[in-house]
Amino acid sequence: MNTNALAKLYDRLSPRERLPLIVAASVRGDEAERGRLMRTAPRSLYRLPDYHGLADALQDAALLHLLEVLDLVALFLQASGSEEQSAILKDQEHDERWMRIVRMAAYLITARRDAWRLLCGELGIDAEILLKGLPGYATVVRNEQTARALVFTPEEAAAYLRANASEEVRPPTAETYLSGLREFLDEWAGRWD
């Protein structure tokens, strides 16, 4: 059967049949097929409250925040283990190198967590309420406490980046992460307008 004959049946696809076809067309770069699959989907009409876009965007931001922090926690734990191993082997050069990585990861974890708290504070929402029920949240909380005890100062983070980058790089701060979170919220909430 040719694709034109199949395309005539697209309006009969269920969402569970249609979505994998849309993803497959996107992956192979077939925008025409992707567009046909999307245009032929039956339409549903919903009435949503005016805050829905912001609530949806905030939930997505919470998930993204948690994933980003979990990724940094993984780096933090990996570097901590390597630092401990170097200490046991009495390899001072590697021990110090790993400790700098641990402290930089701690800096990034705390900057991201502080940014999230600032964003939620601006919105008048408890910063932890959207995260508490998610997998990985307890891991973030446990490791944030340890990270705060080991964190670089902003000056130490800048010196670390200068020593490890080929160009002048400024360390991200809670404020720079906050700016990114605000942009994310505005962009994603705006999709519902």
Q: How many helices (H) and strands (E) does the chain have?
A: 8, 0
The pLDDT value given to residue 1: 40
Residue 70's pLDDT is 97
Residue 83: how many other CB atoms lie within 10 Å: 20
pTM of the model: 0.82
Instruction: Domain ranges for the chain, please list them.
Output: 3-39, 52-190
pLDDT at 89: 66
The pLDDT profile of the chain, 193 residues, written as one tens digit per residue, is 456 677 788 888 999 999 999 999 999 999 999 999 999 999 988 888 999 999 999 999 999 999 999 999 999 999 988 777 766 667 677 768 888 999 999 999 999 999 999 999 999 999 999 999 999 999 999 999 999 999 999 999 999 998 887 777 889 999 999 999 999 999 999 888 7
| Residue 185 host element (H or E) | helix 174-190
Give the integer Cα–Cα distance in Å for 60 and 123.
15
Q: Which residue has the tokens 């980058």?
A: 165
Query: Residue 100, CB half-sphere, CA atoms under 13 Å: how many?
Result: 14
C-alpha 87/C-alpha 165 separation (Å) is: 26
Q: What is the pLDDT of residue 77?
A: 93
Please give the angle made by the CA atoms of 160, 165 and 169, to the nearest 5 degrees: 75
Distances (CA, A) of 109 to 36, 66, 77, 112, 147: 43, 10, 12, 5, 7
Residue 69 has what pLDDT? 97
What letters, b where the CB count within 10 A reaches 16 and e where it falls short, cover 112-137?
Answer: bbbbbebbbeeeeeebeebbeeeeeb
Amino acid identity of residue 70, one-letter, is: L
